[in-house]
Amino acid sequence: MHVLHVVGARPNFMKAAPVIRALRSRQDIAQSLVHTGQHYDANMSDVFFSQLEIPAPDENLGVGSGSHAQQTAQVITRLEPVLVNRRPDIVVVYGDVNSTMAAALVCSKLLIPFAHVEAGLRSFDREMPEEINRIVTDRLADLLFTPSEDGDKNLLNEGVAVEKIHLVGNVMIDTLTRLLPLAKACPKNGFASRYALVTLHRPSNVDDPDVLQRILHSLSNVGGNLDVVFPVHPRTRQRIEALGLRLDNLHLLDPLPYIEFLSLQARATLVITDSGGIQEETTYLGIPCLTVRSNTERPITISVGTNVLVGQDSIALTSEVSKVLGGNAKPGAIPALWDGYAAQRIADVLEGFPLATRSARSRPRSADGLVGSRPRVQQR
């Protein structure tokens, strides 16, 4: 059985790493890895491969940046011949980035079965590009691996066949639990013993100059009470520099490799973010999380975990920060199956994926209808 993984952006790497590792020990399973190149900065991509012990990609599509349409089109165009040539039995896609949806479309056109890791998450906000990617990918997937029960409910409500849905837990937590000891062994940073860790990258927060300026002003006010440590996403840094603002009380850093970022996160007093994955990680770590969004596709981090939505409301942000600093942070617990073994459960399902289904659908065709050849795939 040949399993081909498609990754494209930093969150994908953290989800793919444990699945690749879990499949490596299974007999008669060969693997290959395609990196679309959606994230190509060394701190956003290359260093993650080394820290997460992901093998070098068999193919790098070199897509790079661009509009949503341009990125999606480039992945579709460059991925199709790779799949026709390599002819996998099943493709595994991760998360909700443009590469994920593009790969789903290519697989569906070529009649290649594919599995979606982190299926069923919904913000119910179609202004978010990621929400469109989630919906399209889940509608086309043959196997849907959900991280929590709300994902199952969303998929069933959308008419997905129950036999396609597998509640496996959160693969992000697999990576976190494996690397947390290394993160805790990192030297302590030079910041105060109490600090807020910040990440911002959502277009709704950083692309509108007025909104971004308002958020930065709120963060500067937070910085009057404790250090504010802000590893800045490249897109966000471009927007900040365009505003030409003087940012008092903020420690701006370059993007950090995963282990170093996890070290900061595990020691933080609180985290302020618009990232979905960080909402999950802070819930596992028991760190108060204030999410600068009006909705989340990960509601379990609110109902069970430590997450609080503050939107773009500076008053709400200040109030929640005061609660944390006053010892009244929201208590949280770890959701079911967030135990570090989600990838093993995924590997079990993939290993047992019906041979008849694979045979019927793993005949990839190019646009001209020609069946691709099937090369020898090296066992990893």
Whose structure tokens read 């469109």? 132
pLDDT tens sequence across 339-351: 999 999 999 999 9
**Quick check: 361 pLDDT over 60?**
no
Active-site residue flag, 201: yes
DSSP 3-state of 250:
strand
pLDDT tens sequence across 4-27: 999 998 889 999 999 999 999 999
Helix (H) or strand (E) holding 252: strand 250-253
**Quick check: 246 pLDDT over 60?**
yes
How does residue 227 score in pLDDT terms, banded at 50, 70 and 90? very high
Task: Indicate which residue of 5, 68, 116, 201 is catalytic.
Answer: 201
For the chain, domains (ranges, CATH) are 2-169+338-361 (3.40.50.2000), 177-325 (3.40.50.2000)
CB contact set of 281 (below 8 Å; sequence gap of 6+): 172, 173, 176, 262, 265
CB distance 121 to 95 below 8 Å = no
DSSP 3-state of 312:
coil
The backbone region for 116, taken as left when phi is positive above 0, alpha when psi lies in -120 to 50, beta otherwise, is beta
Instruction: Give the global pTM.
Output: 0.91
**Quick check: 153 pLDDT over 70?**
yes
User: Taking the CA of residue 204 as centre, how many other CA atoms within 13 Å lie in the half-sphere pointing to its CB?
Assistant: 16
pLDDT of the residue at 247: 86
